[in-house]
Amino acid sequence: MTQADVATPKRTRDIIAKYGFSFKKSLGQNFLIDQNILRNIVDAAELDKTKGALEIGPGIGALTQRLSETAGRVTAVEIDQRLIPILQDVFAETDNVHIEHGDVLKLELRELMERQFAGLAGVSVVANLPYYVTTPILMKLLEEKLPLENIVVMIQKEVAERMAAKPGGKEYGSLSVAVQYYCVPELVCVVPHTVFIPQPNVDSAVIKLTLRDKPPVEVANEDHFFRTVQASFAQRRKTIANNLSAFIGKANRDKVVPLLEGCGIDPSRRGETLSIAEFAVISDALQQAGF
């Protein structure tokens, strides 16, 4: 790579000054300025020249630049129109980077991937995500069952901990179950807020989500399974019996306790103690009983 690194405090400030760029807090614009963290993110994705990287929110291209050095092809989706000419300028001499202007939540990602990554051996999503839409973006990637090998993202530390949480703690909730149904999560590193311009007021972490070939449990109906999980955490301090009573309707309250006992689950337990396998058993039993 002949280009100077984009991700140094000086170069970042130079680019911002050159283009008269001003940060939009509403778009979660906190740009990375630390080469070591960028290296850690890219290394975690295990890319090589036979693989592609889909980046969400390239900003001024710090991570994009590293990805272009490692992956065969990079497609970066940026919502902010003001950044498009900057990115086109920064990557004018780089032939394996495609910049796509758009809102990742509205784009047809499967079609974009087919168009951009045809013939490559695998694709990773690698990003320093805008924190205001982290969960919707990740859930879109997972629920659309895109053909991804892994997802390596910088997100708010607290959200990363919830995604990786095991049953029994206060971090464990419907987000943990949803993420772990599709992936194996691994916390890569915790990141201080000093490595961003401007500095966010929350701690960050890099999380790696390795997509599973198939879910860890078989459920009769995925949509029902996720609704059961949501309902079980509706009021965290209530028992599973109480939360599920609200889910199936007051008229059927008396059926919940025997149904849970029939599944071998103590009705006085709380949602946060239940494993994915136990949620699957409950969801299937509810469905069989007509709920």
Q: How far is CA 28 from the centre of its chain?
A: 15
Q: Is 67 annotated as a binding residue?
A: no
Q: Is 59 annotated as a binding residue?
A: no
Instruction: Characterize the bridge pairing of strands 73-78 and 97-101.
Output: parallel
Q: Which residue has the tokens 């079980």?
A: 232
Q: What are phi and psi of 275, to 5 degrees?
A: -80, 170
Closest CA to 76 of 91, 68, 88, 64: 64
Q: Is 78 annotated as a binding residue?
A: yes
Q: Is 223 annotated as a binding residue?
A: no
Binding site for ligand SAM (CB under 6 A): 27-32, 56-59, 62-63, 77-80, 83, 103-105, 128, 130, 133
Is 12 or 150 the residue whose CB approaches ligand SAM more closely?
A: 12
Q: Is 103 annotated as a binding residue?
A: yes
Minimum distance of ligand SAM from residue 103's CB (angstroms):
4
Is 52 or 130 the residue whose CB approaches ligand SAM more closely?
A: 130
Is 83 or 256 the residue whose CB approaches ligand SAM more closely?
A: 83
Is 87 or 282 the residue whose CB approaches ligand SAM more closely?
A: 87
Cβ atoms of residues 163 and 188 within 8 Å: no
Minimum distance of ligand SAM from residue 125's CB (angstroms):
12
Is 70 or 180 the residue whose CB approaches ligand SAM more closely?
A: 70
Minimum distance of ligand SAM from residue 157's CB (angstroms):
14
Q: Is 40 annotated as a binding residue?
A: no
Is 111 or 213 the residue whose CB approaches ligand SAM more closely?
A: 111
Minimum distance of ligand SAM from residue 130's CB (angstroms):
4
Q: Which residue is nearest to ligand SAM (CB)?
A: 57
- Mapping DSSP onto H, E and C, the string for the chain reads CCCCCCCCHHHHHHHHHHHCCCCCHHHCCCEECCHHHHHHHHHHCCCCCCCEEEEECCCCCHHHHHHHHHCCEEEEEECCHHHHHHHHHHCCCCCCEEEEECCCCCCCHHHHHHHHHCCCCCEEEEEECCHHHHHHHHHHHHHCCCCCCEEEEEEEHHHHHHHHCCCCCCCCCHHHHHHHHHEEEEEEEEECHHHEECCCCCCEEEEEEEECCCCCCCCCCHHHHHHHHHHHCCCCCCEHHHHHHHHHCHHHHHHHHHHHHHCCCCCCCEHHHCCHHHHHHHHHHHHHCCC
Minimum distance of ligand SAM from residue 244's CB (angstroms):
35
Minimum distance of ligand SAM from residue 81's CB (angstroms):
10
Minimum distance of ligand SAM from residue 58's CB (angstroms):
5
Token pair of 225 as six digits: 């399974």
Is 63 or 244 the residue whose CB approaches ligand SAM more closely?
A: 63
Question: Which residues are documented as binding site?
Answer: 30, 32, 57, 78, 103, 128
Give binding residues for S-adenosyl-L-methionine as ranges: 30, 32, 57, 78, 103, 128
